Amino acid sequence: MRKIKYMLKCLKRLNVKNMFNIINKLSKKTHKNKIILTIDIIYCALKYGAGYYDYQEFEFYNLTNKERKTYLTRVKNNNIIKTYNKKEDFYKLDDKGIFNETFKEYIKRDFLIISKDNFDEFKKFTSKHKKIIAKIINGEGGKGISLITVNKNDKEKVFKELLKNNQTLIEEVIIQNKEISKLYSGSVNTLRLFTFYDGENAYVLNSVFKIGNGGVTDNFSSGSMYTFTDDDGVVIVPAIDQDDNIYEIHPITKEKIVGFKVPLYDEACKLVIEAAKLMPTIKYIGWDVAITEETPVIIEGNSYPGVFQIKPSLTNNHTGLIPKYQKYMNIK
């Protein structure tokens, strides 16, 4: 019933133009008949909960039905979240101010929530931290994030501008690990670690490494790329961006991506495993983690984790995340 409800909701939001653009694109790429592709997309939507974006992103057009069954689609991901994450408690992660207060021990950086009444605190904060990160409390996808240098004579001006822009959370700037900066120094490049907490133990289910590519954030929607690591934190496949461009070498720094080992990876996994236990009503979380010279630090936790899976064409193993997830949770 939940699957049907979600599919009906998706149908209401269906962008027919986008769907047929994807069908045209796939027809040119695969030389398959558009009608056959359309029928197959509908079949995969009904059978596996795979929308046309899933169909394209996870290359269902090249997979057998047995292989398709192993891939985590957006419908299945939605079912996991509905089953294991209490919607009424999403605010504990989604509100960045509440999140920072709850996870002070894990974010390991100074922060301040500003209001019209605490300009003196803002002055003290910016005397200690000349550069700050400003965020919208409920911002998503890297939107509303600014890196600001606060000069002594501009404090009042900056303060008023932040309030006007609703950027009421300010934080100490994270200085990332030098090895990671070699890949790309224009943004803080982060791990997205997916955890599941069964009420007793927490586990890392998936490990994504996001890398900036010309922008000041590593968010996929902002033009960055992402790849995957193994259980030792070593990148195992080329990175990919929103336009499906594939990168074995970073286009700006010319650093090799495949084979890169994320520093302090084991420590990062231990950090999110401990943090996950603080959220017993939100069992499935996607954590964004930065790595400094000394330690991993949590940037945020996502109550509605997205779907990140290795494209089949990047590996000889055409198996999605479902078999691994089923070891820890019930997936319908």
Side by side, the strands of the sheet bearing 239-241 are 246-247, 239-241, 225-228, 202-211, 190-197, 284-291, 296-302
Chain centroid to CA 279: 18
* Rounded percentage of the chain residues whose pLDDT exceeds 90: 85
The pLDDT of residue 218 is above 90: no
The pLDDT of residue 13 is above 70: no
Mean pLDDT over all residues of the chain? Answer: 93
19 by Cβ neighbours in 10 Å (0-12 / 13-18 / 19+) ranks as middle
* Confidence label for 215 from pLDDT (cuts 50, 70 and 90): low
Q: Is it true that 86-96+176-303 and 110-172 share their CATH fold?
A: no
CATH number listed for the domain at residues 110-172: 3.30.1490.20
Among the ranges given (194-208, 215-229, 304-318), the one the predictor scored with the smallest mean pLDDT: 215-229
CATH 3.40.190.10 given to domain 86-96+176-303: no
Closest to 285 (Cα-Cα) out of 175, 179, 205, 178: 205
| Segment 87-100, tens digit of pLDDT | 999 999 999 999 99
Listing DSSP states for 101-152 in one string gives HHTHHHH-S-EEE--TT-HHHHHHHHHH-SEEEEE-TT--TTTT-EEEE--G
Q: Domain extents for the chain?
A: 2-83, 86-96+176-303, 110-172
Q: In sequence order, what are the residues at sequence separation of 6 or more whose Cβ sits closer than 8 angstroms to the Cβ of residue 9?
A: none
* Rounded percentage of the chain residues whose pLDDT exceeds 70: 93
* Confidence label for 331 from pLDDT (cuts 50, 70 and 90): confident
For residue 314, the model assigns a pLDDT of 94
* Strand partners for 227: 209
